[in-house]
Amino acid sequence: MSSSSASTSDGADRPIDGPIDAPIDAAVGGATHGATDGTPAGARSGGGRLVLVGTPIGNLGDLTPRSVDALAAADLVCCEDTRRTGRLLQHAGIRARELRVVNDHTEDRAVDDVLARLGRGETVAVVSDAGMPGISDPGESLVAAAAGAGFTIEVVPGPSAAITALVASGLPAGRFAFEGFLPRKGSGRTERLAAVAVERRTVVLYEAPHRVARTLDDLLRACGPDRRVVLARELTKLHEEHWRGTLASAVARVSDIEPRGEYVLVLDGAPAPAEVTDDHIVAAIDRARAAGASTRDAVAEAAAELGVPKRRAYALATR
């Protein structure tokens, strides 16, 4: 263990000043990540650090000691809402040196100022209202700009509703697709729903309570009634609930009970397409021919319809 350690009441040695597996020169202050061109972390930047700090998604007990330390040590804390983050800091018994509002509307405008402060060697922390910054929350632009300018990026991980819901869903979690919030309307929504419908991996979606019913309805239309879904509600809070069923039963449920609280929808992946046999291909070619297509066109149509190579369809059409 590279960092100092202390014996705790359970007799175990715990690191007190750095990450467990940190190399010796990175033991204090957490792991460091330099620019991708090999410039040592902070070397170009005069030591400025951007620190992404995870915060609870509903249960203050999930605020980690490391998050508290990072917020207390920052020269500036960027947050979505100063009152909300102020309450969190108060709960932790710390006073931030300076809070600045950085939300979806102001993040891009904040970038130059944050880069200037990192350039002066300051430490800038980023939190969102809940969970991990950058996950359907501000943070991404600041990280991209700071990393691009060669500053050190650090993460103090905390809970995220997506991962919390996924691991409790019982659906395959080895590979999954995070979709965040679907576009609210228009072709963007239609296209995303079509992509979700054929996605083979488990899909994790965020949704506001007053839109859960409509989104489940749209998912039902896109994916069919039998697709399994888990509605993860009020995670880590008093009324935490994991409801499991099919899309058809989920739609029926939310029409009975008006959704309240925060929701993550975890959707089972699309089933593997059924194997296309020679008989399927011959039947598709025969249908196209019967409708008046030439052999060449019938082969092309059948191949496109069933997603098989034209060569295979042609061989069957001419055997």
Question: For the chain, what's the residue count?
Answer: 319
Token pair of 51 as six digits? 């620190």
Q: Is 207 in the site for ligand SAM (CB under 6 A)?
A: yes
Q: Closer to ligand SAM at the Cβ: 152 or 160?
A: 160
Q: Is 220 in the site for ligand SAM (CB under 6 A)?
A: no
Q: Is 169 in the site for ligand SAM (CB under 6 A)?
A: no
Q: Closer to ligand SAM at the Cβ: 41 or 250?
A: 250
Q: Is 67 in the site for ligand SAM (CB under 6 A)?
A: no
Q: Is 160 in the site for ligand SAM (CB under 6 A)?
A: yes
CA distances from 47 to 54, 171, 202 (A): 22, 43, 40
Q: Which of 101, 135, 149, 282 binds ligand SAM (CB under 6 A)?
A: 135
Site mask for ligand SAM (CB under 6 A), range 282-301, x = bound? --------------------
Strand partners of residue 126: 52, 78
CA distances from 267 to 173, 274, 282, 297 (A): 11, 20, 35, 38
Residue 215 near residue 207 (C-beta atoms within 8 A): yes
Per CB under 6 A, which region of 4-12, 118-126, 129-137, 293-301 contacts ligand SAM? Answer: 129-137
Per CB under 6 A, which region of 44-52, 100-108, 134-142, 251-259 contacts ligand SAM? Answer: 134-142
Residues in contact with ligand SAM, counted by CB under 6 A, come to a total of: 24
Q: Which of 63, 89, 126, 130 binds ligand SAM (CB under 6 A)?
A: 130
Smallest gap from Cβ 289 to ligand SAM, in A, equals 51
In terms of Cβ atoms closer than 10 Å to its own Cβ (0-12, 13-18, 19+), residue 264 is: buried
Q: Is 136 in the site for ligand SAM (CB under 6 A)?
A: yes
Site mask for ligand SAM (CB under 6 A), range 19-58, x = bound? --------------------------------------xx
Per CB under 6 A, which region of 22-30, 142-150, 192-200, 230-238 contacts ligand SAM? Answer: 230-238
Q: Is 162 in the site for ligand SAM (CB under 6 A)?
A: yes
Residue 118 near residue 124 (C-beta atoms within 8 A): yes
Q: Is 206 in the site for ligand SAM (CB under 6 A)?
A: yes
Which residues make Cβ contacts (< 8 Å) with residue 175, sequence separation at least 6? 201, 202
CA angle 33, 154, 262 (to 5 degrees): 135
Give dist(CA 97, CA 92) in Å, integer: 14
Smallest gap from Cβ 64 to ligand SAM, in A, equals 14
Task: List residues near ligand SAM by CB under 6 A.
Answer: 57-58, 128, 130-132, 135-137, 160-162, 206-208, 232-237, 262-264
